[in-house]
């Protein structure tokens, strides 16, 4: 079966039939109407977006027996011959296969003869950037002194590879990628014409994979027909394209909702039997959970880029989980996505991750316990300061304050929030707040935010305080957390108020994508570790709790 069947069969014959690229078509039509034609055109743009198709329609429009016209008749011998690629005045040359100097010389020989019965001799050179430099130079000679009634239409996916001397002699048009919606609509139209049954899910998957190229979309539809016959579903396309079907992710969230351990293990078995890439599964699951979260937070499916049917299902799914549940699931999925790459036993990692996801209620209890630990921590710090306060004048204490790796340094800061007696004495210190102090109390800050707005606190928890720019606190989020940043910045005034209550300092907020500079976080990690070991030594129960729940103390 020929690969380009549908693309050929449904190739537009007139300007009106072309999908998109209106900016190009209007200008070309105006040139035809005003009879101001250039000698050379350059059509630049991605593959499969209509460059040679429009070149051919343009050629027909110029040479049509009823032309020049913006609506070539497709009935005169010129139009018919061009449609069949056998018109002697319109020559299509593939730069990729005819890139020799000889060929261009040959072409120049032919230019000596006037166009036979047409009005123009038109050379459509596809992939013109593939011509060798010497072929280009030979071509340039022709462009410098173009014979009358000769037109070149160059098409290229890589205009940057074309000599500036050629570029400067061409009228250039930049073609755009075709939108997913237009590709979907056109493929749906083709399917109807061809009596192919295809579901919306399959259309979306094909359009996504086509990545703006109508020709690729049509080729994929061709392949789908030869692969699955005339009834095409999302599932069969997913198989064909090696994409993991969305159904498997809905199955996963269903299993999590029902806390069905057996089904969870069956699911993982299926993933392995089907030979799915584990990273792809995890990133797909992440995307799936984010979609549910967005539906949950916004209460609508408007911001989801998916089919209507799936949008409805995401919205329905969102009522099965709390925002916290979803954030916890996303955390597990993201952590596993990172860790599984280094794991000697990825299957075990995935099983543990999924079983952990089933323990949503349990993990809530762990969260409560961690809150308890933080309370203990604060109490411990408060008692620390009471003993430290008796020797406030000691230079030893001052030194501790500036050393970020000293585990007890944080206690001075925390005491300000918990013990009013000491606060007055320490306010000046607080004014010179540094990032280590903020990092130390970040958890408390997030908790305070959660008391006001639980989702906001959870979003904030995905970020990390990175550094201070004057009185602006810069919080960095992972590169995929654009949605979080928006939500956080929306509530910046509220957050700044909470920051002020906690630190007695007016700070502004700024959110950035990407990772924090490493030095600070390394210092901080070290700091936390020291701090943790000191804390667990003093309160052995913490160690036990962490061991029992296989947990770790997070900053």
Q: Which residues bind Zn ion (CB under 5 A)?
A: 64, 72-73, 76, 79
- Least distance (Å) from Zn ion to the CB of residue 12? 15
- Least distance (Å) from Zn ion to the CB of residue 81? 10
Q: Considering beta carbons, is residue 69 or 283 the nearer one to Zn ion?
A: 69
- Least distance (Å) from Zn ion to the CB of residue 146? 25
Nearest to 247 by CA among 288, 195, 308: 288
Rounded to 5 degrees, what angle do the CA atoms 304, 309, 315 make? Answer: 55
Question: What's the helix, strand, coil split of the chain in %, to 5?
Answer: 65, 10, 30
Nearest to 500 by CA among 550, 427, 395: 427
Token pair for 41: 């055109």
- Least distance (Å) from Zn ion to the CB of residue 79? 3
First to last CA, the chain: 60
- Least distance (Å) from Zn ion to the CB of residue 114? 20
- Least distance (Å) from Zn ion to the CB of residue 37? 17
Contact of 466 with 478, CB cutoff 8 Å: no
Q: Considering beta carbons, is residue 15 or 175 the nearer one to Zn ion?
A: 15
Q: Considering beta carbons, is residue 62 or 139 the nearer one to Zn ion?
A: 62
Q: Considering beta carbons, is residue 13 or 163 the nearer one to Zn ion?
A: 13
- Least distance (Å) from Zn ion to the CB of residue 149? 18
In sequence order, the 6+-apart residues with CB closer than 8 A to the CB of 263 are 255
Nearest to 292 by CA among 265, 257, 260, 316: 316
Q: Considering beta carbons, is residue 76 or 454 the nearer one to Zn ion?
A: 76
Rounded to 5 degrees, what angle do the CA atoms 96, 99, 102 make? Answer: 155
Nearest to 89 by CA among 99, 70, 76: 76
Q: Considering beta carbons, is residue 61 or 210 the nearer one to Zn ion?
A: 61
Residues 545, 535: Cα–Cα separation, whole Å: 13
Rounded to 5 degrees, what angle do the CA atoms 211, 217, 221 make? Answer: 145
Q: Considering beta carbons, is residue 72 or 457 the nearer one to Zn ion?
A: 72
């Amino acid at each position: 079966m020929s690969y380009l069947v549908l693309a050929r069969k449904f190739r537009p014959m007139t300007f009106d039939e072309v999908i998109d690229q209106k900016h190009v078509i209007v200008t070309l039509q105006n040139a035809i109407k005003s009879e101001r034609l250039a000698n050379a055109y350059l059509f630049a743009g991605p593959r499969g977006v209509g460059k040679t198709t429009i070149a051919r329609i343009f050629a027909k429009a110029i040479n049509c027996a009823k032309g020049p016209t913006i609506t070539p008749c497709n009935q005169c011998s010129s139009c018919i011959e061009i449609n069949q690629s056998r018109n002697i005045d319109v020559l299509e040359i593939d730069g990729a296969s005819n890139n020799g100097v000889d060929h261009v010389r040959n072409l120049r020989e032919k230019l000596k003869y006037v166009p036979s019965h047409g009005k123009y001799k038109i050379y459509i050179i596809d992939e013109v950037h593939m011509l060798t430099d010497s072929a280009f130079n030979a071509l340039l000679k022709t462009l410098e002194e173009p014979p009358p009634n000769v037109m070149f239409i160059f098409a290229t996916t890589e205009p940057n590879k074309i000599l500036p001397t050629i570029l400067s002699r061409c009228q250039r048009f930049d073609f755009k990628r075709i939108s997913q919606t237009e590709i979907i609509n056109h493929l749906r139209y083709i399917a109807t014409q061809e009596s192919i049954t295809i579901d919306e899910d399959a259309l979306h998957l094909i359009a996504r994979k086509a990545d703006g190229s109508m020709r690729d979309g049509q080729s994929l539809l061709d392949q789908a027909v030869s692969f699955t016959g005339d009834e095409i579903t999302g599932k069969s396309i997913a198989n064909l394209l090696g994409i993991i079907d969305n159904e498997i992710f809905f199955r996963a969230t269903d299993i999590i909702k029902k806390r069905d351990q057996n089904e969870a293990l069956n699911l993982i078995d299926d993933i392995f039997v089907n030979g799915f890439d584990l990273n792809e599964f995890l990133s797909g699951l992440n995307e799936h959970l984010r979609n549910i979260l967005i539906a949950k937070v916004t209460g609508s499916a408007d911001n989801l880029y998916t089919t209507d049917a799936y949008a409805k299902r995401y919205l329905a799914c969102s009522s099965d989980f709390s925002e916290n549940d979803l954030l916890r699931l996303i955390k597990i999925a993201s952590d596993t996505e990172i860790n599984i790459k280094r794991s000697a036993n990825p299957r075990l990692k995935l099983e543990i991750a999924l079983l952990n996801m089933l323990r949503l209620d349990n993990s809530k209890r762990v969260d409560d316990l961690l809150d308890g630990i933080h309370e203990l921590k604060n109490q411990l710090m408060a008692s620390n300061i009471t003993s430290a306060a008796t020797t406030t004048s000691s230079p030893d204490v001052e030194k501790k304050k500036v050393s970020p790796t000293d585990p007890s340094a944080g206690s001075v800061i925390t005491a300000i929030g918990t013990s009013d007696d000491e606060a007055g004495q320490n306010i000046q210190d607080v004014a010179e707040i540094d990032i280590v102090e903020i990092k130390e109390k970040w958890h408390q800050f997030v908790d305070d935010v959660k008391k006001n707005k639980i989702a906001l606190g959870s979003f904030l928890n995905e970020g990390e305080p990175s550094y201070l720019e004057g009185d602006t606190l810069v919080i960095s989020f992972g590169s995929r957390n654009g949605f979080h940043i928006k939500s956080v910045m929306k509530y910046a005034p509220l957050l700044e108020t909470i920051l002020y209550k906690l630190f007695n300092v007016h700070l502004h907020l700024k959110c950035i994508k990407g990772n924090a500079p490493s030095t600070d976080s390394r210092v901080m990690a070290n700091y936390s570790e020291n701090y943790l070991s000191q804390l667990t030594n003093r309160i052995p129960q913490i160690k036990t709790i962490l061991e029992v729940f296989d947990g770790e103390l997070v900053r």
